[in-house]
Amino acid sequence: MLTAEQIAAMVNARTHGDPGKTISGVSSFDDAGPKDLTFAVDHSFFSRLNETKAGIILVPNEAPAVSGITLLYSDNPKLAFFKIVAHLMPAEPLKEFIHPSAVIADDCIIGDSTCIEAHVSIGQGSTIGNHVHIMANTVIGKQCRIDDACRISPNVTLADKTRIGRQSIIHPNSVIGSDGFGFVQDGHAHAKLLHTGRVHIGDCCEIGACNTIDRGTLGITRIGNGVKTDNQVHIAHNVKIGDNTLIVAQVGIAGSTTIGRDVIIAGKAGISGHLNIGDGAIIGPYAGVADDVPPGNVVSGIPHMPHKIWLKVSRIIPRLPSLRTRLLSIEKRVKKLESSSTEQP
Amino acid sequence: MLTAEQIAAMVNARTHGDPGKTISGVSSFDDAGPKDLTFAVDHSFFSRLNETKAGIILVPNEAPAVSGITLLYSDNPKLAFFKIVAHLMPAEPLKEFIHPSAVIADDCIIGDSTCIEAHVSIGQGSTIGNHVHIMANTVIGKQCRIDDACRISPNVTLADKTRIGRQSIIHPNSVIGSDGFGFVQDGHAHAKLLHTGRVHIGDCCEIGACNTIDRGTLGITRIGNGVKTDNQVHIAHNVKIGDNTLIVAQVGIAGSTTIGRDVIIAGKAGISGHLNIGDGAIIGPYAGVADDVPPGNVVSGIPHMPHKIWLKVSRIIPRLPSLRTRLLSIEKRVKKLESSSTEQP
Amino acid sequence: MLTAEQIAAMVNARTHGDPGKTISGVSSFDDAGPKDLTFAVDHSFFSRLNETKAGIILVPNEAPAVSGITLLYSDNPKLAFFKIVAHLMPAEPLKEFIHPSAVIADDCIIGDSTCIEAHVSIGQGSTIGNHVHIMANTVIGKQCRIDDACRISPNVTLADKTRIGRQSIIHPNSVIGSDGFGFVQDGHAHAKLLHTGRVHIGDCCEIGACNTIDRGTLGITRIGNGVKTDNQVHIAHNVKIGDNTLIVAQVGIAGSTTIGRDVIIAGKAGISGHLNIGDGAIIGPYAGVADDVPPGNVVSGIPHMPHKIWLKVSRIIPRLPSLRTRLLSIEKRVKKLESSSTEQP
């Protein structure tokens, strides 16, 4: 149970309406009841503030005041809302615990307050930091290093020598550090290249479920700090990804490509190998990127093109049949004009 | 060993030819031998009925009679055929059994005749129904509920609070209920939103291998009854999917989108977030859907468009170079006409 | 530590420069130091041979000699380089070992010098060859057969009756042999077809991480010898793939399609069901293949078309807005010409 006044103090918001109004839960704008806190992020909600049944609404500073509704004005209402969610539904504290079924090599170094669940395997020479949570049935190879406060979800596979920075999360069933797709023609067959590289993931990263991030062929596949990937993302050998880049579901990035900082790659986009995607670039959904993208550029489409052009192109594509019909008609009319112009003299 | 007459009785078919003809196996039309039952579903097979070596052929009622061939006329020959497959190759009955290596929290409720294989983990407060088969190395979180007669395949991860209706199948290595891709900008970094929602899957569903279905951010990601997904399907947070919808391999559905009943989404299609796809809609392969699709509509292409238009567009796209050449030629000819028309006076 | 002379003898190369020059490591062209061996594969490197700090460079026979640099001329410098990598970083020999936590059915046959790690499950009637490495937490069903010298990585699921030829590698978290996406309409619901087929994988194959290869509905899904798949590849029921075919990441192949030998399918391509892709065909990235592709053909695009045409089409697509503008302008000019030509008489 929190009052509007208490919430305002916790998230540095300004109260409009009843400071004593209380909530005990949180919900989305349309599902909320009178004992829920909710939030409204943009103009589309401002005319509907009286439509939610929420007891208290977190709004941005530019939102209008509505009499009879308790509003909390915040610089970042979504961030503030999720701080209250975390306050009301605190995560269970991690208990120091190693399940007896976990198989951990003798020479591993395991930090304090770390929890290792059932059926985990950890290979020789690996180091696990403090406050790390390794969930059930995860397999960690040899000589891995997992820094403090990481969470490795169930059924994850970390291949040998993988390194994960502190406070990072690996979601279930992801594979980090397996061999890249590297072969060399040897007569008719494809000879396997021995992969001796590894994967380094930075601090505060989040790797989605069923991701595959391949080790470098020789060197390192490097994921910067604060990088977040959605589910089913594929990152090939020797890719480098800059800090705070976001990669949405089902994206594929081919080998040796370098992605800058603060890049956004939308769902299902594909990026070819050996490219440079500059800092702050945005790649649209389903885009097929086969060339470098300069910093700050926004591109979409297959083949990729400036997003503004793609918006026009995507409106024209469904009209191609009628444009073709018009072209054929003009062709006929021009023929007619030509024949009449040659007849004239 | 079954006679044509016995099969006819089992699947309510009408016999043409020798009712005493026997088969002992089943096979596809082209691979069948004289002791096999096969089936022919459509007109393309009717002229070839004498090409299969099968002893007995299940055919639809409109199929022609062919002398010397034993045919069984059925309203649904494919369904009838697979009923006979199930009769000839009955699944082993599930044995009640909990492998001693399974780690099951003390307060879990486990139903009757349930089989839990090796290296399974089940978290606190979970309830498993009767006749459930939980296969090896699967991890089930806390407070999950799995209803009667489900099969959860190996290496699956079910996150906390996931609920699965009766007679549903989860194929191997799928992840149900992990956190969605939800962040909010906090200065330069992306702050994680605490995900407190869950996934509810209905009765008689089948979730393919390596699927990822994210929990709701706050509320519920809801999969209706009878929904079937193929492999490598991604369903984001707070998506709702109506009953009996089919989703083919490698489809991605972004957050908060609502899919109706009896929808078909073909392979590799992508659907953006916060959309409504109406009941009975059909989405073509590789389609990129960025707007609502009304009930019953059939759409294809990137960007998506009515399927009939896409069929035309897809025939024009490879001819764009020649259309462009024709356009340039017309342009020249018009220029010539213009110059001769201005010269004339 | 190896001298240029020693390396030349090991990989059958010809030495230019100092035959006594030594290296102790290997690295990529740009990262190499003076004690590293590197390699240069094509003309783009020939003008830069003095830019790498590598002590010795493996080059193709047509490379120029550069004075002061130790070069090794080889028919296949990349293959030669990775032979030296394997020499310098030999894999640990496999130790015969079965972890006590592995759960292996009584009637399984396990070969010599085979290593089975922790938390593995192997079902009844399975046969594992010699020198096989089954890594932690992998689940192998009933009546499987894994031939000599295979490596099955962690968290893999092999369904019943799967067969894997010798010297093949299955990367982590892949699923081989689960049910295909096969249903038949039964009133409003989709009745499941009982899948009784299986998957056979040939010798010397490599299956990437998070792949899904479905069993045949009745018969066999067959992967030829020497086939290599990248990560997140989906291969549906009853697909046949010929020897030495390469399939890049996130490709999907629908049911009953036959792929020839020596085919290359680039990343994210999709191939519809019941098609024939001929020997030696090449399918471009993101291609959507909905018809047969004859042997040796190179196709790209959605819809797929000859690659040479796609190159032209992909240059035209971003120019569609300007082409449309030109078409509209010509239309106007033709109208004007028509009106002036009818006025004239």
The domains of chain C, with CATH numbers, are 2-88 (3.40.1390.10), 97-308 (2.160.10.10)
Yes or no, beta carbons of B218 and A341 under 8 Å apart: no
Residues of A in contact with C119 (CB under 8 A): 101, 103, 119, 121, 137
Nearest alpha carbon to residue A292 among A304, A276, A306, A307: A276
The CA distance from C198 to the nearest CA of chain B, in Å, is 13
Q: Judge whether B214 and B236 are in contact, CB under 8 Å.
A: yes
Percent residues over pLDDT 90 in chain C: 91
Residues of A in contact with B334 (CB under 8 A): 334
**Among partner residues A89, A204, A206, which is closest to B196 by beta-carbon distance?**
A89
Mention every residue, 6+ apart, whose C-beta is less than 8 A from residue B335: none
Residues of A in contact with B254 (CB under 8 A): 248-249, 267
What residues form DSSP beta bridges with C97?
A: C115
Residues of C in contact with A212 (CB under 8 A): 208-210, 231-232, 249
Yes or no, beta carbons of A244 and B191 under 8 Å apart: no
Residues of A in contact with C136 (CB under 8 A): 103, 121, 139
pTM: 0.96
What b/e sequence results for A258-290 when a residue is b if at least 16 CB atoms lie within 10 Å of its CB, and e otherwise?
Answer: bbbbbbbbbbbbbbbbebebbbbbbbbbbbbbb
Q: What are phi and psi of A313, to 5 degrees?
A: -60, -40
| pLDDT tens by residue, A44-80 | 899 899 999 999 999 999 999 999 999 999 999 999 9
Both tokens of A157, joined, read: 């596979």
Per residue, the 3-state secondary structure of chain A, as one string, reads CEEHHHHHHHHCCEEECCCCCEECEECCCCCCCCCEEEECCCHHHHCCCCCCCCCEEEEECCCCCCCCCEEEEECCHHHHHHHHHHHHCCCCCCCCEECCCCEECCCCEECCCCEECCCCEECCCCEECCCCEECCCCEECCCCEECCCCEECCCCEECCCCEECCCCEECCCCEEEECCCCEEEECCEEEECCCCCEEEECCCCEECCCCEEECCCCCEEEECCCCEECCCCEECCCCEECCCCEECCCCEECCCCEECCCCEECCCCEECCCCEECCCCEECCCCEECCCECCCCEEECCCCEEHHHHHHHHHHHHHHHHHHHHHHHHHHHHHHHHHHHHHCC
Coil/strand/helix, residue C304: coil
Residues of C in contact with A187 (CB under 8 A): none
CA angle C242, C247, C248 (to 5 degrees): 175
**Among partner residues C171, C206, C341, which is closest to A337 by beta-carbon distance?**
C341
Residues of C in contact with A326 (CB under 8 A): 327, 331
- Residue A20 neighbours by CB distance under 10 Å: 11
Coil/strand/helix, residue B16: strand
Coil/strand/helix, residue B178: strand
**Among partner residues B26, B31, B155, which is closest to C157 by beta-carbon distance?**
B155
- At residue A344, the pLDDT reads 56
**Among partner residues C191, C288, C326, which is closest to B331 by beta-carbon distance?**
C326
In this prediction, residues B36-50 reach a mean pLDDT of: 90
Interface contacts (A, B; CB < 8 Å): 186
The helix (run of H) or strand (run of E) holding residue C27 is: none
pLDDT band for position A211 (50/70/90)? very high
- At residue B91, the pLDDT reads 84
DSSP C96: P
In this prediction, residues B228-255 reach a mean pLDDT of: 98
Yes or no, beta carbons of C252 and B232 under 8 Å apart: yes
DSSP B24: -
Nearest alpha carbon to residue A119 among A107, A102, A132, A135: A102
CA A218, CA A197: separation in Å to the nearest integer? Answer: 4
Q: Judge whether A284 and A299 are in contact, CB under 8 Å.
A: yes
Strands (E), C86-188: 97-98, 103-104, 109-110, 115-116, 121-122, 127-128, 133-134, 139-140, 145-146, 151-152, 157-158, 163-164, 169-170, 175-178, 183-186
The CA distance from C127 to the nearest CA of chain B, in Å, is 18
CA B147, CA B138: separation in Å to the nearest integer? Answer: 16
- At residue A44, the pLDDT reads 87
Q: Which residues of chain C have pLDDT under 70?
A: 343-345
- The strand pair at B145-146 and B109-110 is best described as unpaired
Q: Which chains touch C (3 or more CB pairs under 8 A)?
A: A, B
Residues of C in contact with B27 (CB under 8 A): 218-219
- A273 φψ region: left (φ > 0), alpha (ψ -120 to 50), beta (else): beta
CA B287, CA A36: separation in Å to the nearest integer? Answer: 39
Yes or no, beta carbons of A173 and C173 under 8 Å apart: yes
- At residue B343, the pLDDT reads 67
Yes or no, beta carbons of C155 and A159 under 8 Å apart: no
**Among partner residues A172, A249, A314, which is closest to B236 by beta-carbon distance?**
A249
Q: Which chains touch A (3 or more CB pairs under 8 A)?
A: B, C
**Among partner residues A78, A318, A334, which is closest to B309 by beta-carbon distance?**
A318
CA C251, CA C262: separation in Å to the nearest integer? Answer: 16
Yes or no, beta carbons of A82 and B302 under 8 Å apart: no
The set of catalytic residues of B is 237
The CA distance from C210 to the nearest CA of chain A, in Å, is 7
The CA distance from B30 to the nearest CA of chain C, in Å, is 11
**Among partner residues C157, C188, C326, which is closest to B153 by beta-carbon distance?**
C157
The helix (run of H) or strand (run of E) holding residue C322 is: helix C320-343
Yes or no, beta carbons of C155 and A178 under 8 Å apart: no
CA B275, CA B291: separation in Å to the nearest integer? Answer: 6
Q: Judge whether C205 and C182 are in contact, CB under 8 Å.
A: no
- At residue A313, the pLDDT reads 97
| pLDDT tens by residue, A17-31 | 999 999 999 998 988
Q: Which of A131, A200, A237, A304 is catalytic?
A: A237
- Best to test chain A binding among B101, B103, B171, B286 (most A CBs inside 10 Å): B103
- Whether the predicted pLDDT of A343 surpasses 80: no
- At residue C344, the pLDDT reads 56
Yes or no, beta carbons of B82 and C184 under 8 Å apart: yes
Both tokens of A230, joined, read: 């959605």
The CA distance from C188 to the nearest CA of chain A, in Å, is 31
DSSP C293: B
| pLDDT tens by residue, A103-160 | 999 999 999 999 999 999 999 999 999 999 999 999 999 999 999 999 999 999 999 9
| pLDDT tens by residue, C250-270 | 999 999 999 999 999 999 999
From residue B204, alpha-carbon distances to B92, B127, B224, B251, C180 in Å are 20, 18, 9, 20, 16
Residues of B in contact with C121 (CB under 8 A): 117-119, 136-137, 154
Both tokens of B188, joined, read: 């330069």
Mention every residue, 6+ apart, whose C-beta is less than 8 A from residue B344: none
Residue type, A102: A
The CA distance from C186 to the nearest CA of chain B, in Å, is 7
Yes or no, beta carbons of A312 and C327 under 8 Å apart: no
- Residue B90 neighbours by CB distance under 10 Å: 9
Residues of C in contact with B173 (CB under 8 A): 155, 157, 173-175, 210
Nearest chain C residue to B334 by CA: give it: C334
- At residue C340, the pLDDT reads 86
Q: What are phi and psi of B340, to 5 degrees?
A: -70, -30
- Best to test chain A binding among B104, B122, B139 (most A CBs inside 10 Å): B139
Nearest chain A residue to C28 by CA: give it: A218
**Among partner residues C173, C250, C288, which is closest to B173 by beta-carbon distance?**
C173
Q: Judge whether B199 and B164 are in contact, CB under 8 Å.
A: no
Q: Which of C200, C237, C304, C307 is catalytic?
A: C237
In this prediction, residues B82-102 reach a mean pLDDT of: 94
Coil/strand/helix, residue B199: strand
- At residue A121, the pLDDT reads 98
Coil/strand/helix, residue C78: helix
Nearest chain B residue to C232 by CA: give it: B232
Coil/strand/helix, residue B208: coil
CA B214, CA B212: separation in Å to the nearest integer? Answer: 6
